[in-house]
Amino acid sequence: MIPSLPRPPLSRYATAAYVAAFFAFLFLPLVVVAVFAFNDANYPAPPWRGFTFDWFVGSGQRRGLFADAPLLASVATSIVVAGWVTVLSVAFGTVNAFLLERTEFRGKSALSLLMLAPLVIPGVILGISILAFASRLAQFADDWWGLELDFLRPGLPLVVAGQFSYIVSIATLTIAARLKRFDITLEDAAFNLGASRAAALWTVTLPYLRPALIGAAAISFLMSFENFNTTLMLVGSDPPLTIMMYGRMREGASPVLNAVSLFLMVASAAIALVLMRRPAR
């Protein structure tokens, strides 16, 4: 059980073996994806035929990642969507945090529960409900005012709205948790020293919230970039990366998917390292 109790060697070895197997299980798929990005074959499968960079830089018959315009365009789409979702989620999340921590009003506990609801609604259902509602609004605008509101049809604005609808819950939780621990007398001190409300907010409260804001932004970006379920229901003619990869994986795999995956792994590992090196205050 625990180290301070006598443990027979057999149980110690069994535990160690289990933990090793557990981590092997965790990393096996990722290692396989990375390795076959460099295999000199047209199909990501054994046997190993030698090392190549074709799936990154190749062109013509073996179109690598950097020559695959649709794939690169989908990466760009994902970045744009994730950028919007991040900005909106952090902005709304900050205001929500102040609402939850600094104000009292009737129905506050109901509202704070409702803010958690999007986290328990399956992503597919968030997607179809927003799709149906937006289409109703578009129909309404068309019937009454003869307006063609394209942004209410499946496409990137709806994808942003769908992802935002639940990611902002997470941003709110993250930022509110930090605001809760804020010592309100610091703001009073700023007022005593003659600061205006805006100045106190800008120079005292927001700097204190900074780690939570950065954390919320990173989580929002990542969750948006990885989102599949909600996006699938709302996507129009320009697919983000996850949808693009899904489509190609159904058609049959090319190692270029491994290449783009490896690229993603390196990018998210870099973000993780940067975030973790930042001292958590």
Question: According to CB under 8 A, which residues from 27 to 86 bind another protein?
Answer: 27-33, 36, 43-47
Within 8 A by CB and 6+ apart from 82, the residues are: 220, 221, 222, 224, 225
As measured in angstroms, the least distance from the Cβ of 62 to another protein is: 18
**Is 199 a residue that touches another protein (CB under 8 A)?**
no
Q: Which of 173, 209, 213, 256 binds another protein (CB under 8 A)?
A: 173
**Is 220 a residue that touches another protein (CB under 8 A)?**
no
| Rounded-to-integer distance, Cα 48 and Cα 35, Å | 10
| Rounded-to-integer distance, Cα 45 and Cα 255, Å | 9
| Rounded-to-integer distance, Cα 144 and Cα 137, Å | 11
**Is 186 a residue that touches another protein (CB under 8 A)?**
no
Binding to another protein (CB under 8 A) within 118-137 occurs at 118-126, 128-133, 136
As measured in angstroms, the least distance from the Cβ of 253 to another protein is: 7
Nearer to another protein, 10 or 60 (CB): 10
**Is 1 a residue that touches another protein (CB under 8 A)?**
yes
| Rounded-to-integer distance, Cα 165 and Cα 168, Å | 6
**Is 221 a residue that touches another protein (CB under 8 A)?**
no
Q: Which of 74, 86, 165, 220 binds another protein (CB under 8 A)?
A: 165
**Is 161 a residue that touches another protein (CB under 8 A)?**
yes
**Is 245 a residue that touches another protein (CB under 8 A)?**
yes
Give the amino acid at 142. D
Only segment of 56-64, 65-73, 207-215, 244-252 that touches another protein (CB under 8 A): 244-252
- Asked if 160 and 154 count as a contact pair (C-beta separation under 8 A), the reply is no
| Rounded-to-integer distance, Cα 242 and Cα 81, Å | 12
The number of residues that bind another protein (CB under 8 A) is: 88
Only segment of 57-65, 79-87, 105-113, 203-211 that touches another protein (CB under 8 A): 105-113
> Which residue is it, tokens 């994730």?
82
Instruction: Give the CA distances from residue 4 to residues 18, 197, 230, in Å, rounded to whole numbers and listed in that order.
Output: 20, 55, 48
- The number of residues making up the chain comes to 281
- DSSP 3-state of 60: coil
**Is 232 a residue that touches another protein (CB under 8 A)?**
yes
Tell me: cis bond preceding 46? Omega within 30 of 0 counts: no
**Is 268 a residue that touches another protein (CB under 8 A)?**
yes
**Is 101 a residue that touches another protein (CB under 8 A)?**
no
Q: Which of 76, 114, 147, 206 binds another protein (CB under 8 A)?
A: 114
What distance, in Å, lies between the first and last C-alpha atoms of the chain? 34
Binding to another protein (CB under 8 A) within 9-28 occurs at 15, 18-19, 22-23, 25-28
